[in-house]
Amino acid sequence: MQKQKLLIVDDDEDLRTQMKWALTADYNVYLAEDRQSAIAIINKEQPAVVTLDLGLPPNPAGVEEGFAILDHILDNYSHTKVIIITGRGEKEHALRAVEKGAYDFFYKPIQLDELKVVLRRAFHVSQLEQEQREMRHRLSGDTFEGMIGTSPPMQDVFSTIRKVATTDAPVLITGESGTGKELVARAIHRLSIRESKPFIPINCSAIPENLIESELFGHEKGTFTGAHAQRKGRFEMAEGGTLFLDEVGDLPLTLQVKLLRFLQEKTIERVGGREQIEVDTRVLAATNRDLEEAMKNSTFREDLYYRLNVVKISLPALRERNADVVLLAKTFLDRYTGEIRKKIKGFSSQAIESIERYPWPGNVRELENRIKRAVIMSEGKKITLEDLEMKSIAGSKECIVLKDAREILEKELILKAMARNENNLTKAASDLGVSRPTLYDLMEKLGIPK
């Protein structure tokens, strides 16, 4: 097994020689006596651990040269563990170095047995962090079609996707807004025999009711004002591939009939046309609404529900995936520090604590957006509570009380429903499964402007 790399930076030649003699059996040891030689070795070898004397030539009585090396490491090789070697009278410099990001400090004269213990711990931490980075990299890549999750609920989702992707059965994907329903649909498509054909998504709630029929089924020339030519709809555009109907619960009842007919007969009819057109398209549907409740209210057809719900994939909310929250946060941090080209080492301990405790009503989408904003706004080496705009739930080690968590979640869900329905109280109330007066009362209680 290849030895791990250790760089010793010290202007005392006798001490460098002594340390190399004592540590060569365990590590691949490099030596440097000044800033120039140290930085050259760091850039070429990228050692996992560096022991650093702050007092180096040309001014061994000062600490400027040592701090310059430390800054170079923190700016370019933030995963490297730096152990400051200092005299007892220079403790304030060692503490300043630790505050900047050094791993630890050690007093002269060197006690080799004690130093070996500190080094073993530093290399062990470095190895653990490297393994974690590799795992996050694998998870954020192609481990499962770009989806991240080690928690049991997500592993169940991945298992179902693998099974259903090999069939042509309709799939109903349910879950709160922001849980990744379209990612699941795309994964099913990519793992199917239809992979080389189109994947066509359409959000059924985002298109006005008078236009959605034409969008889905197409229209003939002259059917209505502005129909200057024949136009194919999304069903025909997805020929041979997959049509993803997001927010299918918002389809008008008249179009639910046409969708049901397609699922039964595999034919469509353009608006204004009389020809039955055969289409080979697989349908995947998603909703954040309770379709069983919608059936009771006669706003969703029971026969269509059972046609779509041949296989159901229920995505867990992020608050139900405790094991994934920090992993996702660190993955998004790696992604956006790379994209935005910022050198951020990680999260402060308070930020991690708040990320774990926050209920995330907007789910993975909210977490990703909050991390991206934090990377853009951050001015330090670590993401803080202020960067995340999470002051309201941070501070002491006390857990957020249930009442506060409930109010945070209710407010977030109401605001999202209002935005989704362009501030229409009646539609927002229907989305949330409450009456209009109840929604009005909740908004008043939570201080949400009408």
Confidence of residue 296 (pLDDT cuts 50, 70, 90): very high
pLDDT of residue 393: 47
Q: What is the mean pLDDT of residues 241-254?
A: 94
Q: 198 or 412, which is more confident?
A: 198
Strands 277-278 and 267-268: antiparallel
pLDDT of residue 442: 82
DSSP 251-280: S-HHHHHHHHHHHHHSEE--BT----EE--
Residues whose CB is less than 8 angstroms from the CB of residue 269 and which lie 6 or more positions away in sequence, other chains included: 217, 258, 275, 276, 277
173-196 tens-digit pLDDT? 999 999 999 999 999 999 999 999
Q: Cis before residue 437, ω within 30 degrees of 0? A: no
- Checking if the pLDDT of 225 tops 70, the result is no
Domains delineated in the chain: 5-140 (3.40.50.2300), 152-314 (3.40.50.300), 319-393 (1.10.8.60), 402-446 (1.10.10)
Q: What is the mean pLDDT of residues 37-56?
A: 94
pLDDT of residue 394: 40
Tokens 């047995």 belong to which residue?
113
Confidence of residue 417 (pLDDT cuts 50, 70, 90): confident
Helix, strand or coil, per DSSP, at residue 173? strand
- Checking if the pLDDT of 143 tops 60, the result is no
Q: What is the mean pLDDT of residues 417-443?
A: 80
Question: Is 354 in contact with 396 (CB distance < 8 Å)?
Answer: no
Residues whose CB is less than 8 angstroms from the CB of residue 165 and which lie 6 or more positions away in sequence, other chains included: 187, 188, 189, 190, 191, 192
